[in-house]
Structure 1
Amino acid sequence: MSVPTPPTPLVDADGDALRTLLRQQASTVTIVTAPSLVGFTATSFTCVSLAPPIVSFCSDLTSSSWSGVSRARHVGVHLLAGHQEELARRFATRGVDRFAAPTRWRPGPEGVPILDDTLAWMLCRVVDRVVVGDHAIVLAEPELLRHADVGSPLLYHRGAFTGLAATTDLDPRRASAAPRAAGSRRVL
């Protein structure tokens, strides 16, 4: 059994301290696209409501994409697959044409660019934008969506891209029900 590491001392909750704390949260990596051929990598995507269906993401007000997102009636939200780290990096880089090769995409409904081979994507109608500090929270209603039946998401954790571990179920009572490779044995 491992011994937990001692907690760090209490600090004031300023922007830098909050950023450090949030590095402990693993987030699904998404790319948001808008009809004016703008897009950016975001880890702030979340479901807000199921009835009615509403999702959200945040955008930095100083980003080069905000101008296009701030005017868009529809956006695309793409959940990246584990193998799409380079695509995530491209859409997080300033000063590059994010839609140029090697990015593979096609025009989708409402003129929203749809990225190829993502784990999932949805076309969303923007219902509100709420400016809070240096970001805007964009609230959007999914209208169309598509997802793969296989694959794992690209995650962002502790300042780096990562993926899910091969075995995520560590409960030994449930592990016995999982198929094992020939010649392998379960260790409790």
Structure 2
Amino acid sequence: MTSAVPLPENSSADEPLAPERALGASLSADDFKALFRGHPGGVAVITAEGPNGPVALTATSVSSVSAEPPLLIFSVSALSSATPAILGAETIVVHLLDSADLDVAKLASTSGIDRFADTERWSRLTTGEPVYHGVRAWVRCAIIERMNAGGSTVIAAHALQSDIARDVVPGESGDALVYHNRTWHRLGDHSRVE
């Protein structure tokens, strides 16, 4: 449970609070990366239509935020060639992958290639966004907020339309694709610990 921080006297909720103390030294980039290598993330591919054609990137930062309204968040690195097009888009498609989609995850995470060269692998929705065929699920979203966060941008998106090709039965493990310690993993009954 989160508790609210009381506002100082003569302050309003619209005024930013001044920091009361210095943050001190922070973790190095290497230490921070080492910390999160042990924290697995579900794998998704984000696509958008850019000024020079479709773009795609693989992300492990996608999370649901709210069911009503249906909101999700993810982050994109300033280092990705796809980031400018995604940041400039009004709508995007988030592909939620399982282990059968490993080829799509690898495709969208490989630098220096045309991720849309195989025209049999993808098409456009009637609204224009690029979508990969045969993935476990995808959701078309409207971007509603962008927040700079260090060398990344956190994006909040409102779900508009979805398709589930391979549903996960409640209580069953499915074949989720996760990224952990710089490698791809499949979750299934073999990985269940309870």
Per the normalisation by structure 2, the TM-score is: 0.77
Once the two structures are TM-superposed, the CA of residue 149 in structure 1 deviates from its matched residue by 2.2
What pairs with 1:1-188 in structure 2 (closer than 5 Å)? 13-36=27-50, 37-101=54-118, 104-147=121-164, 148-150=166-168, 151-171=174-194
SS at match of 1:64: coil
Once the two structures are TM-superposed, the CA of residue 169 in structure 1 deviates from its matched residue by 4.2
Contact kept, 8 Å, 1:35 with 1:110, in 2: the verdict is: no
- For 2:119 and 2:185, the matched residues in 1 are separated by 21
- For 2:163 and 2:146, the matched residues in 1 are separated by 24
In structure 2, relative to structure 1, the CA distance for the partners of 1:102 and 1:110 (3 Å cut) is closer
Contact kept, 8 Å, 1:74 with 1:110, in 2: the verdict is: no
In structure 2, relative to structure 1, the CA distance for the partners of 1:26 and 1:103 (3 Å cut) is farther
Segments of structure 1 that go 5 or more residues without pairing to the other structure are 1-11, 172-188
Residues 46-96 of structure 1 deviation map (CA, whole Å, 9 limit, x = unaligned): 112222221011111131101111110000000112022222111111111
- For 1:92 and 1:64, the matched residues in 2 are separated by 11
Segments of structure 2 that go 5 or more residues without pairing to the other structure are 1-25, 169-173
- For 2:178 and 2:192, the matched residues in 1 are separated by 18
In structure 2, relative to structure 1, the CA distance for the partners of 1:125 and 1:18 (3 Å cut) is same
Provide the alpha-carbon RMSD of the alignment. Answer: 1.9
Residue identity in the other structure for 1:69: I
* Number of aligned residues: 161
